Structure 1
Amino acid sequence: MSETPANADTDVHQHHALRYQGLLLKDILPKRKYWWNYWSLWRLNLSLLCALLANAVNGYDGSVLSGLQSLPTWTDYFNHPKGAALGVLGVGINIGGSAAMLMAGYMCDYFGRRAPLGIGCVIIIVGAIVGAAADSYGMFLGGRILVGFGNGLCAIAAPMLLAEVAHPSQRARLMSMYAPTYPLGGIIAGWTTFATFRYATQWSWRLPMALQGVFSVIQLCGVFFCPESPRWLLAVGKRQKAVDVLVKHHGDGDPDSPLVKFELSEIESSLEADSLSRSYNWMEFFKTKGNRRRLSIMLFFPWARQFTSTNLISYFFPIVLSTAGITQSKRQLELNAGINMVAFAFAITTNFYIEKVGRRVAMIVPMFLCALCVTIWTILMSQIVESGYTRPSLGYGVVVVVYFFQGFIHIFDATCEPYVQEISTFELRAKITIIWNFGQQVVEYVSSFANPVAMDSINWKYLLLYVVLCYLYVVIMFLYFPETKGLSLEECAMIFDGDEAKQRQHALEVAYVQSRKVEGEVEHVEHLD
C-alpha cells in the first residue's frame, strides 16, 4: 500500500491527508490504456446515452426559440412578440422545470434514478407535440411549460445516474460530456430552423418544434438498457442487485474483482456511517461546515453559468445581432446555427484534459477568458452605437467575440457537471442536484425577463454588469473551490467533512482489509495522524 510522505507539499496537503489510510481509488483501478478495447465499457457507456442526452433538450430549446425569432412565419403568426411577451416564452421552460423539481428529488430517492428519467422523457414528447400543434400564444407557451416539466425531471435524474453508474475511470469524462450535449442540441435546432426558413407555410416553425421530442424518444429507448444506480440499490436494501451491477459493469464479470470489492465496501461504509449519525433532511445543509460550504458552491454555480450573458446569447441571439447591426433573417439563422457548432467543439475538448489539469484550472481559466470576451464585446458595442451603425466590420467583430465567449463558457459548463456530483455525498446528492437545477431556473427567470428589456432600453451598457460579474466569479472560484481530481465520490467528501469523513474511511479500511484476509492476502496499512 502507498504511504504519504511526512514532508508532503502544502499545496496538495488536502489530497495527501486523504491518503493517511493508504486506500485511494487510484490504487485500486485496473491499469487500462485504451477503454475502447473493453466491451464492458462500451456496453456501459452506450447505455448511459439515455442520461447524456438529457441536456440536449435544453440546448435544442434555447436554439430553436432563438431561431424562431428570425422566422417571419413564426413572428407573424404570434403577432411579433417582444419585450415581456417574448420574455415569458423564454421562461416557459423554467416554469415547468421549477414545478418538476418540487418532486424530482423525492422521486429519485424513492423510485431510483431511471424511473424519473423515463417519465420526464414521456412528458417532453407530449410537450413537443403540443408546441408544434399550437394555434395560439397560450398553447405554444403551454407546450414549452410541459417540455420544461419533463426536462426538470430529467435534469435531476440524469447527472445522478451518470455519476453513480459510470465506471470510476470514466466518470469525469462522461460527466464532462454532459454539458456538450447542450450545444449539440443547439446545432440540430439551429440548422433545422435554417433549413425550414425556405418554407412559406407554418411548417417552417412547426417542424422544428416537433423535432424537439426526438432526443427524448432516443432516451426513452435507452432507459430500458441502462443499469440502476448501485448506490441507490444499496441504500434501499437491494444489495444483491447492486453487486450484480458492479460485477457486470465495473468488474468485467468477475465477482472477485478488487475494484468491485473496494466500491462495495466504500459505498456500504459511507451509507452505514450516515444512517448511524443522522437522518438527512434539508436542514442538514446548515448543520455542518462541510455542508454549508457545499450549499454555498451550489448557490454560486447557477449565477456563474447563466448570469454571464450566455442566456442572452442562447435565447435572444437575434437581439444581440440586431444591436450589432446584423438584421437579415437568413444571416441571423446562419450565425445562430454556427455559434452552437463552435460551442460544441470547445466543450468537447474538455473530455481530453479534465483529468490532467484538474477541476479548478478547467473552471477558472475559461471563466477568465469569458470575462475578457465580454469586456471586448462591450467596447465594440459602444463603438458601433457611437458610429451610428455605419461600420459593419465592428458588427462582425462582435460575432467573433461572442462565438469565442460561447466556446469558453461551455468549457466551464462541461467541468461544472462532474464537479457538482463529486462534491455531493450520496444522501445529499438528490437535494444538491435540485438546488443546482432550481437555482438555474430562478436565475434564468431573472435573466430571460431582464435581457430583452434591458437590451432594448440601455443597449450595450447592460453588458457592463456581465463584465463585473465574470471577473468576480474568477476571484470567488480561485479562493474558495477545492480540487477533486483523481478522487472517488466518497473520497471527495473528506475535503468537506474532515474527521467525520475519516471515520467513514476507517470503516472502509477495516472492511477492505478483512476481505483481503479472507483471501489470504493480509496487508499492512499505514496510519499517519
Structure 2
Amino acid sequence: MATLPDPDNKPGPTPSHRPTKRDDLLEIEATRDLTAAEHALGFWPAIRQYPQATFWSMFFCLAVVMAGYDAQIITSFYALPAFQQKYGSPRRSDIPSGGPDIEYEVPAPWQTALGMGNPIGQILGALASGYPLERFGRRWTLAACCVWSIGLVFVQFFATSVGMLCAGEILGGLAYGFYVVIAPTYSSEICPLALRGFLTTSVNLAFVIGQFVAQGVAAGLESRLDQWAYKAPFALQWLWPVIILIGLPFAPESPYWLVRQGRNADARQSIVQLSSSKNPPDVDQVLLGIEQTDLLEQELEASSSYWDCFKGANLVRTEISIMVYLIQVIGGNPLIAYATYFFEQAGLKSSDAFNMGVGNTALGFVGTITSWPLMNYFGLGRRTIYNSGMIFMTILLFVIGFLSIPTNNTAAVWAMATLMDIWTFTYQMTVGPICFVILAEISATRLRSRTIAVATAVQAAATIVTTVAMPYIFNSDEANWGGKAGFLFGGISLVCLGWCYFRLPESRGRTFEELDILFQKKVPARQFKHYDLHVEDEAASQG
C-alpha cells in the first residue's frame, strides 16, 4: 500500500506505522498513543484547545437554519389567515355563538404540493452533493449553494401563483439537500473526539432554531391580512446566506478532505487554524492520526463511490445511518412540522394555536441544549440516549391517541397540546440531536459525505410520503384524525424501537479508526460499548 504524498517532503508513514492485518484481525498499534490521548482529552480542555473548530462548526450550521426555517414556515402558512384567504377555499363551520360563518382552509392537494418542494429538493440536492464535496471541498461547495439560495428566494418572494411558489420551493430545496450533508460532515471532520457529540448535535439545534424563528415570524404576522403576512417570512431567508458568504473566506477547510487530496501541508495548516495558539495540540500527531485513518480505509476499501456505501462492512454502517435519520420522520416528527395546524385542528383558536406552536419549538431549542450535558457531563452513550427517548416518545404518542377519543372535550384538547410539547422536548433532547451524532460517527470518513447524502435522500423521500399523507390525515374534509394520529405514529415508533435495540451500536468514546475496525470485525451492535480492541489485538498477536 503506497504512502500518501507529502508536500513538505517529510517521511510518510513507515510500514511499521501502517494498519496491518494479522489472521484477519486489524492491528491498531500504530495509533495506540494517539487513541489514548483522544480518550483522555476532556470536554472543556478540548474547547480550550480547539476554540476555532467550535466556532466554525457552528458557523457552518447556519446553513441548516435555512433548511429548518423553510420547511416550518410553509406548514405554518396553512394556519395563517392571510395565506388561507389567498390560496384557500371557503368552508362553513359552526361558531359556538350559533351563527354560521365562512372560514378558509388550504385544500389538501395544495398543501401537499407546497410542502413537497423542500423534501424533493433535498433528495436531489443530497444525492448531487457527493461529487462537488469531494472535488471542490466543503467551503467552495457551501459558497455555491448560498449563491443559489439567494437567487431562489427571489422566486419565492415574487411568486405570482402557487405553481411558481412550488417551483421556487423545489429549486430552493436543492441547496437545502447540500446544507444538511455539509454541516454534519464538516463538524465531524474538524473536531476532536471529545467535541464530536457536542458539535454534531449543533446541526439539530440549527434545525430547531430555524423552526423557532419561522414559528415566531408566523405568530407575529398572524393578525395581518395583507400579502406581507407571508412575503416578509420569505424575505428573511436572504439573511443567512449573506452572513455565510461573508465569513466563508476565513473558514479553514476540512483536514480530512485535504489529506485525501494529497494536500498534507494544507491539512496541517488547517489543524493549526482550528486549534488554539496558546494551548495547541500536537499538530503533527493529529495529522498523523488523520493520515492513518485514511490509510486504513484505503486498505479496507479502495474507492469512495455511492456503490461502496452498500458493500461489505459499509452496508451495515449505511443501514444504521439511514434508519436513525428515517426514524425522525416515520416516528412522529411530522407532528412537529404540523404543530400549529395540529393545535388548530384539535380545537384551539388560531392565536392560541400559534402561541402553542412557538412554545413547541422553544421547548425543542431547550431540549437540544439539554442533550449536551447528557452526553458530556453525565457521560450517557448515544445508544442509551436514543433508545430511552424512543421508549418515552412511543408511550406519549399512544397517550395522545387515547386522549383524542373523547369528542368536544376542551380539557382533552389542551392535554393533547401539552403532551405534544412534552413529546417535542423529549424528541429534541434525544432522537433529534443524537441522530446527527450517529450519522457523523458511524459512516467511514472516506464515505461520510456520500453516506449522509444517501441517508438524507431516504429521509427526504419519507418526508414526501408524510407530506402527501398529513393534510389528508388532519384536514376536516378528509380523515380528520386530529390526535388519533398518535396511534399511527405510536405503532410505527414501537417497531422502530425494536430495530434500535438490536441494530444500533454505541459509538461514544470511539475514534474513527476504532469504529472502522469494529465494523470490519463485525462486532454485534450491543457489544460495541465494552469491546476492548487492544486486548483482543494483543490476544490475537500472542496466539
One fold, TM greater than 0.5? yes
* SS state at 2:84 partner: helix
Contact 1:285 1:295 (C-alpha < 8 Å) held by counterparts: yes
Aligned-residue offset at 1:19: 8.7
Match of 2:459 among 418, 437, 440: 440
Counterparts in 2 of 1:102 and 1:401: CA distance versus 1, 3 Å: same
Q: Distance in 1 between matches of 2:85 and 2:311?
A: 55
* SS state at 1:112 partner: helix
Aligned-partner residue type, residue 321 of structure 1: F
Aligned-partner residue type, residue 354 of structure 1: M
More divergent stretch after superposition (246-255 vs 212-221):
246-255
Specify the alignment match of 1:522 in structure 2: none
Counterparts in 2 of 1:72 and 1:21: CA distance versus 1, 3 Å: closer
Contact 2:193 2:509 (C-alpha < 8 Å) held by counterparts: no
Q: Distance in 2 between matches of 1:463 and 1:37?
A: 41
Contact 2:382 2:438 (C-alpha < 8 Å) held by counterparts: yes
Aligned-partner residue type, residue 87 of structure 1: T
Q: Does 1:99 align with 2:124?
A: yes
Specify the alignment match of 1:485 in structure 2: 508
Match of 2:62 among 35, 48, 53: 53
Specify the alignment match of 2:272 in structure 1: 247
Aligned pairs for 1:237-316 within 5 A: 237-250=262-275, 252=277, 257-258=281-282, 260-276=283-299, 278-288=302-312, 290-314=313-337, 316=338
Deviations 1:341-371 (A, max 9, x none): 0111111111112141011111111111110
Deviations 1:250-271 (A, max 9, x none): 474789x53x333322221232
Aligned-residue offset at 1:483: 0.9
Q: Structure 1 length as normaliser, TM-score?
A: 0.84
Aligned pairs for 1:76-475 within 5 A: 76-80=85-89, 81-250=106-275, 252=277, 257-258=281-282, 260-276=283-299, 278-288=302-312, 290-314=313-337, 316-326=338-348, 328-355=349-376, 356-383=379-406, 387=407, 389=408, 391-411=409-429, 412-455=431-474, 456-457=478-479, 459=481, 460-475=483-498
Q: Distance in 1 between matches of 2:35 and 2:518?
A: 15
Deviations 1:68-126 (A, max 9, x none): 22222111222343212101111111122222223211111111111221222222222
Deviations 1:384-422 (A, max 9, x none): xxx3x2x21110001011111111122211011111111
Contact 1:363 1:415 (C-alpha < 8 Å) held by counterparts: yes
Counterparts in 2 of 1:29 and 1:250: CA distance versus 1, 3 Å: farther
* SS state at 2:447 partner: helix
Aligned-partner residue type, residue 291 of structure 1: N
Q: Does 1:69 align with 2:78?
A: yes
Contact 1:26 1:486 (C-alpha < 8 Å) held by counterparts: no
* SS state at 2:405 partner: helix
Contact 1:167 1:249 (C-alpha < 8 Å) held by counterparts: no
* SS state at 2:194 partner: coil
More divergent stretch after superposition (362-371 vs 221-230):
221-230
Aligned-residue offset at 1:499: 8.9
CA RMSD of aligned residues (A): 2.6
Q: Distance in 2 between matches of 1:83 and 1:24?
A: 56
Aligned-residue offset at 1:30: 7.0
* SS state at 1:483 partner: coil
Aligned-partner residue type, residue 311 of structure 2: K
Q: Distance in 1 between matches of 2:46 and 2:522?
A: 39
Match of 1:25 among 32, 35, 48: 35
Q: Distance in 2 between matches of 1:18 and 1:403?
A: 46
Q: Distance in 1 between matches of 2:43 and 2:84?
A: 53
Deviations 1:226-254 (A, max 9, x none): 21010110101111000111233247478
Q: Distance in 2 between matches of 1:338 and 1:265?
A: 47
Q: Distance in 2 between matches of 1:319 and 1:248?
A: 46
- What stretches of structure 1 move > 6 A for 4+ residues in a row? 17-21
Contact 1:47 1:225 (C-alpha < 8 Å) held by counterparts: no
Aligned-residue identity in percent: 22
Aligned-residue offset at 1:20: 11
* SS state at 2:271 partner: helix
Q: Distance in 2 between matches of 1:268 and 1:241?
A: 13
Counterparts in 2 of 1:221 and 1:442: CA distance versus 1, 3 Å: same
Q: Distance in 1 between matches of 2:383 and 2:208?
A: 23
Aligned-partner residue type, residue 392 of structure 1: T
Counterparts in 2 of 1:395 and 1:118: CA distance versus 1, 3 Å: same
Q: Distance in 1 between matches of 2:314 and 2:46?
A: 37
Specify the alignment match of 2:17 in structure 1: none
Aligned-partner residue type, residue 74 of structure 1: F
Aligned-partner residue type, residue 421 of structure 2: Y
1 or 2, which has the higher helix percentage?
A: 1
Q: Distance in 2 between matches of 1:348 and 1:342?
A: 10
Q: Distance in 2 between matches of 1:167 and 1:272?
A: 19
Q: Distance in 2 between matches of 1:124 and 1:425?
A: 30
Aligned-partner residue type, residue 392 of structure 2: L
Q: Distance in 2 between matches of 1:498 and 1:334?
A: 52
Deviations 1:10-48 (A, max 9, x none): xxxxxxx9899744534346756735983x633332222
Deviations 1:190-217 (A, max 9, x none): 1111212233321111101111232222
More divergent stretch after superposition (72-81 vs 467-476):
72-81
Q: Structure 2 length as normaliser, TM-score?
A: 0.82
Counterparts in 2 of 1:20 and 1:84: CA distance versus 1, 3 Å: same
